[in-house]
Homo-oligomer: A and B are copies of this chain.
Amino acid sequence: MIMLQIGEFSKVCQVSVKTLHHYDKLGLLMPAEVDRFTGYRYYRTEQIDTMNYIQRLKRYGFSLEEIQHIISLSDNRVISARLRQQKEKLKHEQQERAIILNELQTHISVFERTGDIMTYQKSYTIEVKNSPAMNVLANRAMMGVDEFGKYYGMLFERVPKEQVTPTGLNGARYFDEEFNHESSDVEVFIEIKEKEKADIILEPQECAMTVHRGGYSTLSEAYGAIVSWIIENGYEYAGAPFELYIKTQFNSPSPEDWETEVYFPIKKK
Contacts and interface: CB of A to CB of B under 8 A. Distances in A.
A94 B91 contact: no
A80 interface: yes
A76 B14 contact: no
B59 A83 contact: no
B59 A103 contact: yes
User: What is the total number of copies of this protein in its complex?
Assistant: 2
Interface string A88-102: 001101100110110
B117 A79 contact: yes
A89 to B, nearest CB: 10
A145 to B, nearest CB: 11
Interface in A34-61: 45-46, 48-49, 51-53, 55-56, 59-61
Interface residues of A, number: 60
Interface string A212-251: 0000011011011101100110000000000000000000
A156 interface: no
- Which 4 A-B pairs give the minimum distances between C-beta atoms? A45-B228, A14-B220, A48-B224, A12-B227
